[in-house]
Amino acid sequence: MIHETIGELLANKAEQLPHHEALVYPDRGIHYTYSEFNRLCRKVARGLMALGVDKGEHLAIWATNVPEWVTLQFATGKMGAVLVTVNTNYRAAELEYLLKQSESRTLVLIEDYRGNSYIDTIYEICPELHSCEPGELSSKRLPLLKNVIVLSEQQYSGTYSWSDILEMADRVTEEQLDARTEELAPDDVINMQYTSGTTGFPKGVMLTHSNLINNAFHIAGCMELMKEDRLCIPVPFFHCFGCVIGTMACVTVGATMVPVQEFDPETVLATVEQEKCTALHGVPTMFIAELNHPNFQKYNLSTLRTGVMAGSNCPVEIMKAVMNKMHMEEITICYGQTESSPVITQTRTDDPVELRVETVGRALPEVEVKIVEPGSSRELPFNKQGELCTRGYHVMKGYYNNPDATKEAIDEEGWLHTGDLAVMDENGYIRVTGRLKDMIIRGGENIYPREIEEFLYTHPKILDAQVIGIPDEKYGEELMAWIILKEGEIASADEIKEYFKDKISRHKIPKYIQFTKEYPMTASGKIQKFRLREQSMSLLK
């Protein structure tokens, strides 16, 4: 276990590996060594202190994987502000909700993303910015928000630029920053991430220095990440995948971070080749997009070795292709949730391919896992399905300003109840079989979508499949499968249903088959099944 703050972690790595590359953005010509990156983070930390940002104060960031994002992650770790991460897909109502619920006093944002003007959005929520001085915002809708910082050289009324913050740094001495850093403790909350919102309103998950550093360190250990490694990070920073499994894991071992600002399959392939990356992260849909890119064969990926695939289950054929065609023989699978910093279990680099696709690995070091009877704390024997619970250093401090939800998630003995259904074998390997709320009950029979999806993946024409339950007068619920076919393939609903015959129980064959080109997803790559249900209901009206 590592007993230090994020600021101390980076400072120690800068001392140990001053000339080793820490952060690389090839398209921007950025190649910071650990010494240079540490100095920059210190400067930004002093700039924030000059702005009046206090220890424990909430600072929100609404941006893609720009260099300033990762700099702020470690700068706030040095001066004690809590970094509140904002989903890049948010629109006005969602942003307003998050800023209000998190009680953020400072917002850092880029100008726009995928046709969504972040500038227009913040002026819509806070029209008072048009007529106020920077740092003196008095907003009717967001009374606590005082500072807006735009990551641009263009000046916008009522806001600071990034250059303003860097210039302010001179008002705070190095000694003042050191004094602030010494006030921080590993158990302080330093990061707040909002759950993806696949169901209900997002909740602010409070994570500490200790949560993040130790989880990242053990993740790095399981994937055998070392200082010589160069990790390509195309997953978003606002999600734990990007800023814990990605950036933080690198820094715990002194590896090099090579972020991709916005996911694009060919940009990832080009970055891996150009920077000779040895590790790559992604959700299955990202790997599928990379493997199926028409220019895939043009890129030399032979330097790749390890990485993490997470976010949803991986079809066996995709895993084999990643290991063989992308040379990632040591790729690992992670499972967890934001509330657990995020990783609970992980496969190991030498696990056979079957374990990497049929299980989500075994518990990380220093992490406890048990399977209990849903709705109780009664532990179940091996190979019995129940709810997965976990306990240890990685469990969040709680949901911000939501004690009832915290109490519901973490029991009196410190066990986090994940809401996921799983089975554990005698070796501690876990298969996630579905979510408690995803379970479909058809005519009294419990059906788990994951089982049907795994079967559909074996069809030679199917690229991806998602199964949901929809209301039915006769059976209570019926199954509907949403299918993405491989490029150039054509299939009918009857053909898919025929494929099921004599291979799977009749009651598990989806009544409805719908073909699609894409699924509704969160920005972090999670498929929003509740949106699929909404679409299904509209189609079947």
Residue 205 lies in a domain: no
Indicate the residue among 407, 435, 463 that finishes a domain.
435
Nearest to 157 by CA among 187, 132, 184: 132
Within this chain, do residues 486 and 407 fall inside the same structural domain, yes or no? no
Same domain for 144 and 45? yes
- Clarify whether residues 446 and 404 are in a common domain: no
Select from 409, 425, 272 the least CA-distant residue to 363. 425
Does residue 255 surpass a pLDDT of 80? yes
203 is a domain residue: no
Q: Evaluate whether residue 206 is within a structural domain.
A: no
Examine residue 221 and state whether it is found in any structural domain, yes or no: yes
Coil, helix or strand at residue 143 = coil
Residue 527 has pLDDT above 90, yes or no: no
pLDDT greater than 90 at residue 330: yes
Mean pLDDT to the nearest integer, 245-262: 98
Range of the domain at 386: 211-237+257-435
Statement to judge: residues 458 and 331 lie in one domain = no
Token representation of residue 392: 């240890």
Helical (H) or strand (E) element with 217:
helix 209-222
pLDDT digits 0-9 by tens, 442-476: 877 778 788 899 889 999 999 999 999 999 888 88
Q: Which of 157, 10, 21, 3 is nearest to 79 (CA)?
A: 10
Average pLDDT of span 66-87: 98
CATH number, residue 501: 3.30.300.30
pLDDT over 90, % of the chain: 84
Same domain, 134 and 12: yes
Whether residue 100 lies inside any domain: the answer is yes
The reply to whether 10 falls in a domain is yes
Look at residue 201 and tell me if it is in a domain.
Answer: no
Residues 264 and 283 in one domain: yes
Q: How confident is the model at residue 198 (pLDDT cuts 50, 70, 90)?
A: very low
pLDDT in tens, 21-47: 999 999 999 999 999 999 999 999 999
Co-location of 35 and 116 in the same domain: yes
Question: Do 190 and 277 share a domain, yes or no?
Answer: no
Q: How distant, in Å, are the alpha carbons of 247, 288, 292, 327, 420 from that of 275?
A: 16, 21, 22, 16, 38
| Same domain assignment for residues 230 and 346 | yes
CATH of the domain at 28: 3.40.50.12780
Give the pLDDT mean for 309-338: 92
For residues 414 and 342, membership in a common domain is answered with: yes
Claim to verify: residue 279 and residue 411 sit in the same structural domain: yes
The mean pLDDT value for 106-135 works out to 97
Number of domains in the chain: 3
Separation in Å, CA 226 to CA 4, 223, 279? 20, 9, 10
Strands 204-208 and 189-194: antiparallel
Q: Does residue 424 share a domain with residue 292? A: yes
Alpha helices in 223-327 (DSSP H): 240, 247-253, 265-275, 284-291, 316-325
Decide: helix, strand or coil at residue 218: helix
Q: Show Cβ contacts of residue 193 under 8 Å, excluding neighbours closer than 6 positions.
A: 85, 204, 205, 207, 238, 239, 240, 338
Q: Is the pLDDT of residue 480 over 70?
A: yes
Tell whether the model's pLDDT for residue 136 goes beyond 90: yes
Average pLDDT, the chain: 94
Q: pLDDT above 70 covers what percent of the chain?
A: 99
pLDDT of residue 313: 75
pLDDT at 90: 87
In a domain, 177, yes or no: yes
Q: Which of 391, 416, 435 is the last residue of a domain?
A: 435
Q: In angstroms, what CA-CA distances link 433 with 199, 351, 386? A: 19, 20, 9
Domain boundary among 435, 459, 491: 435
